[in-house]
Structure 1
């Protein structure tokens, strides 16, 4: 397998790098938000996405009939990696999860209404799968959608909807056939976030970011805003999660955290001795660097498999997501261990080792192993779909 980039791909990387240099803004780019830097939650960040749209970069892999460039997925991969390397918002939910699902399964009405807004960066989405009793197991969702004339009435609750407090539309799964097996009977809907029946309550996270609880009280939605076939929502959600597991957990922040740790070890001392001369520390850093290269190649393997197969490959997405996010935690553990007691000082403390990034990384990386399906869910997917083990093995 050839992981070398072509001359055209290298030229694209240089173009994006120049764009990021020309449009640098601390209001938009913040690597200390770790993986949460990808969300478009402020006016400045939304304006930045409009600039990306003007370059034609939001629809790189979309078909030309929808305004895209019909390019290989490697260009979208390179763009997201470069954006995440500087802590800028990324192309994620709208372009990937919602846009690509609508292309495959949405009605002509939904395509006409939403695809132009997505590719022009005019709209932001929240994704509602998780519930109090349906976290990583999306098939267990119980939010009720009952038929009412030419529409549906939704009642219930969603949890961990990160973008609910700033998004324009809610991409939400609901149970439309309560007596069907749990993987059946789920349907996807698009709902305006300003619907009077929606109540949003903030949930602060240990990573100092905000997610939300969302309550549905007789929320009415027209059947025109049902996505795809009735009761086929879990199939669409599964396809979308393969995209999320890869595009929303980029490698560049992992690489940056590892490099920050390496630079610290090169210069730090303890008890008058240089850390870089300690054989145990050298061994740990070397092992972690090798693991970083494994994560990078797993990401490229996903891109290669997606290009060859034409759709997101499930087991490759789970292999990458599981390995990369757990590596993030191992790097965070190593950083806390090697930086010593001072590593517990918070970001912004001038006396903290690594400028406080140790504490910040340690708390943020916990979120990564849960979002998009927990590590346990990824292991089950790999066991069933890659190794062929029985479901209840």
Structure 2
């Protein structure tokens, strides 16, 4: 097992970087940042045109693409959830739903948000109380979902609903693809610490046809796991790489009271080295997941290891660099006097949320303990 990129993969990465450098202009970046919405239709369709939206081929190519998009802070979160749900539909959806959704999803012509978490359930997704009741050939859905990011602009939501309250909580759930323009759907903005807009979504007597059900009735937990395995295998190392690059540039261009570059200070170099080590470990953990995928093996525990380590490493690195830079690091994005255009302050705020996205650190530790180490619940 080795993790070096071959010539073909390096060429693909260079092509991705060139495209992103062309389209992610300072004006584009500022507009996305001010909106708090990590999606842009034209940007997504530009990736499709370059065969960089959902490229076929080796898992390592797909991972390199994700790394470059993440490093550039590209507005792709809604595109990623759309691809993820399309893959689930491909495995568990009806032929009619596959035909209706997958081609348009892969062409960036429709978008799909996630509707798992509920206001009173926290990380216990299986405790969902949103109800779906059969009514002839339709289902009537009532309830609410928290953190439905992009739910105010997406076309559909991949919704977990309880269809049998008499069964154990993991057994009475069903997955639906709910059109977000259906009568009875409402999205209200919720702003995160990083300035991102997410939503609480409400479903009041929302009627959807049975053709929008994904998987069997009361078999939603197994369908949901197809999506969660993908989410849990995420790696956040590229954000550490971006932070490290900004910190190194700051250290080279900033001088101390004696006029010496800050990078000559042993303490500065020590802190940068710590961040570089965190980045290397995060990268290797993520590439192990890619290697397993190439071998046809599911990274059941290894995916959560990658997600857990890289997000907590990002928090540690952001704290370390903010302490290094000092009070100036607290100057925010778009503040003209902020070092590195306020990236240090922003990445500190952003890092804290990553330990919650795609399952909290506590959830990841439970998965590693139970499914990786075989420990009891």
- TM-score bracket for this pair, using the shorter chain length: over 0.9
SS in 1 for 2:273: helix
Deviation at 1:22, TM superposition (A): 4.2
SS at match of 1:203: strand
Matched, 1:151 2:146: no
Q: Is the 8 A contact 2:333 2:342 kept in 1?
A: yes
CA distance in 1, matches of 2:228, 2:277: 28
In structure 2, how many angstroms separate the alpha carbons of the residues matched to 1:388 and 1:316?
Answer: 14
Please tell me whether the aligned partners of residues 240 and 275 of structure 2 are also in contact (alpha carbons under 8 angstroms). Answer: no
Partner SS state of residue 230, structure 1:
coil
Q: Which string of whole-angstrom CA distances, capped at 9 and with x for unpartnered residues, describes residues 151-175 of structure 1?
A: 1111111101111111011111001
Deviation of the 1:381 alpha carbon: 0.6
Counterparts in 2 of 1:205 and 1:313: CA distance versus 1, 3 Å? same
Pick one of 275, 285, 294 that aligns with 1:288: 275
SS across alignment from 1:314: coil
Q: 1:24 Cα shift?
A: 4.3
TM-score (norm 1): 0.89
Structure 2: state its 5+ residue gaps: none
Offset at residue 26 of structure 1 (A): 3.8
**Are 1:51 and 2:46 an aligned pair?**
yes
Look up the match of 1:136: 123
| Higher deviation after alignment, 82-91 or 22-31 | 22-31
- Structure 1 residue corresponding to 2:192, chosen from 179, 201, 205: 205
8 Å Cα contact 1:33/1:87 also seen in 2: no
2:223 pairs with 1:236: yes
State how far apart, in whole Å, the 1-side matches of 2:172 and 2:27 are.
Answer: 43
1:68: which partner in 2? none
TM-score for both structures, normalised by structure 2: 0.92
| Residues 236 and 282 in structure 2, CA contact (< 8 A), matched pair in contact too | no
Q: Tell whether the 8 Å contact from 1:207 to 1:367 is kept in structure 2 after alignment.
A: yes
Is residue 92 of structure 1 aligned with residue 80 of structure 2? yes
1:222 and 2:217 aligned? no
- CA 1:17/1:363 → structure 2, altered by over 3 Å: closer, same or farther? closer
Structure 1 unmatched ranges of 5 or more: 62-70
Q: Take 1:11 and 1:282, find their aligned partners in 2: how far apart are those partners?
A: 32
**Which of 266, 284, 289 does residue 302 from structure 1 map onto?**
289
Indicate whether 1:188 and 2:175 are aligned. Answer: yes
The residue that corresponds to 1:160 in the other structure is: 147
Q: Is the 8 A contact 2:142 2:205 kept in 1?
A: yes
Task: Say whether 1:78 aligns with 2:64.
Answer: yes
Contact 1:52 1:58 in 2 (8 A): yes
| Shift in Å, 1:314 | 2.0
1:314 maps onto 2:300 in alignment = yes
Moved more, 47-56 or 202-211: 47-56
Give aligned pairs, total: 373
Shift, 1:28, TM fit: 4.4
- SS of 2:105's equivalent in the other structure is helix
| Conservation of the 8 A alpha-carbon contact between 1:32 and 1:357 | no
Contact 1:200–1:214 (Cα < 8 Å) also in 2: yes
* 1:259 and 2:245 are equivalent in the alignment: yes
Deviation at residue 31 of structure 1 after TM alignment: 11
